Structure 1
Amino acid sequence: MYTNKKVLITGGTGTIGQHLLKAILSYSPSVVRIYSRDEHKQYEMQQEFKEHRNIRYLIGDIRDEVRLLRAMEDIDYVFHLAAMKHVPACEYNPFEAVKTNVLGTQNVIQAAIAAKVKKVLFTSTDKAISPTNTYGATKLTSERLISAAEYQKGPKQTVFSSVRFGNVMCSRGSVIPLFKKQILEDHCITVTDMMMKRYMMTPNQAISLMLKANELAKGGEVFVLKMPVINLSDLAEVMIEKVSEKHRITESVEIKEIGLRPGEKMYEELMSDDEVIGSFETPDMYIIPSHFTDHEYNEAVRTLAKPSIGTDASISKEVLGEWLLSEKLI
């Protein structure tokens, strides 16, 4: 799908962007353009990927439609990852979050249509379901913009879709690097609430399912990646155990509860009850079709059985520890 093709990744210097870049490069694309506003991270990426001659680094902001249009010239596929992601930052600067996450996404849509891009995949979050914070609300709005683009594009052939997932281990804003730093420096970690639960997956799992969703996309869908639930108390205890073993820490590490931050929820949801109706299921993901399209899927996709929602099992501490070690996150 990507061999000899041209790909643009907005927000490409982030954790997900870098993992996605590695995956895309394995298909020998003609060029991959990394679009972000952080020149230092771009410099670091240039050093890491200096043996690859098919990467271009473009400084730009998704708030700038003219710059986006220039970046999308002759592009086949766009992965839209750029966003304001930190919940407290979005709460304190709500309209800045709107300008980046909502207006920026609309700029991506308009530029992609004008540049005749083949496919655009937008990355969303489980916080878009019944949002209680600005970040989730802006992501929900962006999902709606992407789905609506399917009927607003006129005769153009660009396919727009979204992929929704939870926390990605060690992505920007992940609690794992914070826990590690606190264990090493303070011998005490701060947890909002020990009863909190979160959907979580490794970067490689997220990238694999993103590429699969982009392959399946026909237009307007939201692909919801199936993820296991992690108890925050389990994550804290496993981090203490593994980091202490690796760095030979003999002192006990205290866990301190500090309470929920503004806008935070005790647990997230993958889909709303209304979204379940009329949705489809594959072994790896759920597919919420657009209200404005009537695409048919092959026999590998079946109508979603409602009981499968909400039965997501928590992974064991043993599996969680294996994930952390295999991804070299500690």
Structure 2
Amino acid sequence: MFTDKSILITGGTGSLGKALTNYILDNYPTIKRLVIFSRDEQKQYQMALDYPHDQYPMIRFFIGDVRDKERLIRAMKGIDYVIHAAAMKHVPIAEYNPDECIKTNVYGAQNVIDACFMTGVERVVALSTDKACAPINLYGATKLTSDKLFIAANNIKGDNPIRFSVVRYGNVMGSNGSVIPFFLSRKATGILPITDPQMTRFNISLIGGVEMVMHALQHAWGGELFVPKIPSYRIMDVAEAIGPDCEKPFVGIRPGEKIHEEMITSSDSYFTYDLGKYYAILPATHKWKLEDFIQEFGATKVKEGFQYNSGENTEWESVESMRKLIQEHVDTSFHI
């Protein structure tokens, strides 16, 4: 479905954007165009060095901000598929700068939706976060709002064949600003600060996140919110895996943080289906028949009251498995 198609990635110079770029170019060399849309010129310059035009003539770098709808419209002309990865994501920074977070994560999301409608885009996948599930911080609240906007966009498309869907997952291993790179950078100091010893998080690799986005892009019918089945880790196990000889003082949780993250609440269970590798929270209203969806994907309804959170997960990473994963997915020089 990607032959002679054009794809645009907002936030394309971020960790997941770069992983998506590499995956798409490796697996779909017959694409027509891949547009990297982001606002950081230095990151674009550095990324362009890895993809010289003579070797990758299909790739384009487009400076722009999702806050600027006119710029989005210009960038999306001739685009078939959009992956919306741009976001302001640091929880404490969002708490301190709430208006800036809203401008990017909420108004920016609506700008992407409007631009897609105006330019003939066929499919859209928006990236979400576990923090959007029962949010207690502004970042999570803005991403929940973004999720609702993308899902609801399917209700107003009329005869337009465009499909909007959302993918929600936990901490992406090794992504910018996440705990594993932070601990690796602090290991030499001999001190790894721990927010709370009981804290847990979902864990997904960059390639796992990429594969989920591509699954949604290819298989979504419109309105689904996909959730992966992934393991959890305990923050103390991550610290032990990286710095077994380091001091680990408890410093308290930061503003807006949870002890455990959620991806599906018991209230979501009434609309949640098990697809095998993923769960899908279906929209309350949709333009396709539920019976057809169930038959197409072999979907089974979860039990009422089902919930999916990092503290009550049935699958866990150990200290040993975290060491191996860090070497495989984050830092090849990391000593096991």
TM-score clears 0.5? yes
Q: Does the alignment pair 1:305 with 2:307?
A: no
User: For the Cα contact (< 8 Å) 1:123–1:164, is it kept in 2?
Assistant: yes
User: For the Cα contact (< 8 Å) 1:78–1:120, is it kept in 2?
Assistant: yes
Code of the aligned partner of 1:127: K
User: For the Cα contact (< 8 Å) 1:2–1:24, is it kept in 2?
Assistant: no
Shift of 1:308: 7.6
The unaligned stretches of length 5 or more in structure 2 are none
Shift of 1:305: 2.5
Code of the aligned partner of 1:40: Q
- The whole-number CA distance in structure 2 between the counterparts of 1:215 and 1:280 is 18
Q: Does the alignment pair 1:278 with 2:278?
A: no
- The whole-number CA distance in structure 1 between the counterparts of 2:299 and 2:163 is 22
- The whole-number CA distance in structure 2 between the counterparts of 1:91 and 1:209 is 29
- The whole-number CA distance in structure 1 between the counterparts of 2:142 and 2:298 is 29
User: For the Cα contact (< 8 Å) 1:85–1:173, is it kept in 2?
Assistant: no
Code of the aligned partner of 1:137: A
Instruction: Tell me the equivalent position of 2:11.
Output: 11
- The whole-number CA distance in structure 2 between the counterparts of 1:308 and 1:275 is 8
Identify which of 44, 47, 61 aligns with 1:45. Answer: 47
Code of the aligned partner of 1:19: A
Shift of 1:317: 2.0
- The whole-number CA distance in structure 1 between the counterparts of 2:263 and 2:206 is 18
- The whole-number CA distance in structure 1 between the counterparts of 2:11 and 2:175 is 12
User: For the Cα contact (< 8 Å) 2:174–2:330, is it kept in 1?
Assistant: no
Shift of 1:282: 1.6
Shift of 1:86: 0.2
- The whole-number CA distance in structure 1 between the counterparts of 2:287 and 2:76 is 28
Q: Does the alignment pair 1:56 with 2:80?
A: no
Shift of 1:294: 4.8
Query: Over residues 245-274 of structure 1, what are the superposed CA-to-partner deviations in whole Å (9 max), with x where a residue is unaligned?
Result: xxxxxxx31111110001000000111111
Q: Does the alignment pair 1:232 with 2:232?
A: no
Instruction: Tell me the equivalent position of 1:261.
Output: 254
Under a length normalisation based on structure 2, what TM-score does the superposition of the two structures give?
Answer: 0.92
Instruction: Tell me the equivalent position of 1:207.
Output: 210
Shift of 1:203: 0.4
Instruction: Tell me the equivalent position of 2:21.
Output: 21
- The whole-number CA distance in structure 2 between the counterparts of 1:212 and 1:323 is 23
- The whole-number CA distance in structure 1 between the counterparts of 2:330 and 2:162 is 38
How is 1:93-242 mapped onto 2 (pairs within 5 angstroms)? 93-184=97-188, 186-241=189-244
- The whole-number CA distance in structure 1 between the counterparts of 2:297 and 2:64 is 40
- The whole-number CA distance in structure 1 between the counterparts of 2:154 and 2:298 is 21
* Identical counterparts, % of pairs: 41
- The whole-number CA distance in structure 2 between the counterparts of 1:147 and 1:49 is 34
Give secondary structure in 1 for the equivalent of 2:271: coil
Code of the aligned partner of 2:6: K
Instruction: Tell me the equivalent position of 1:292.
Output: 285
Instruction: Tell me the equivalent position of 1:90.
Output: 94
RMSD after superposition: 1.4
Shift of 1:181: 1.1
- The whole-number CA distance in structure 1 between the counterparts of 2:193 and 2:300 is 42
- The whole-number CA distance in structure 1 between the counterparts of 2:180 and 2:313 is 25
- The whole-number CA distance in structure 1 between the counterparts of 2:101 and 2:330 is 32
Query: Over residues 93-147 of structure 1, what are the superposed CA-to-partner deviations in whole Å (9 max), with x where a residue is unaligned?
Result: 1111111000000000000011110100000001011110000000000000001
Code of the aligned partner of 1:194: P
- The whole-number CA distance in structure 2 between the counterparts of 1:275 and 1:72 is 33
Code of the aligned partner of 1:74: G
Code of the aligned partner of 1:190: P
Q: Does the alignment pair 1:65 with 2:44?
A: no
Under a length normalisation based on structure 1, what TM-score does the superposition of the two structures give?
Answer: 0.93
- The whole-number CA distance in structure 1 between the counterparts of 2:145 and 2:109 is 9
Shift of 1:292: 2.0
The unaligned stretches of length 5 or more in structure 1 are 242-251
Give secondary structure in 1 for the equivalent of 2:193: strand
Q: More deviation in 274-283 or 93-102?
A: 274-283
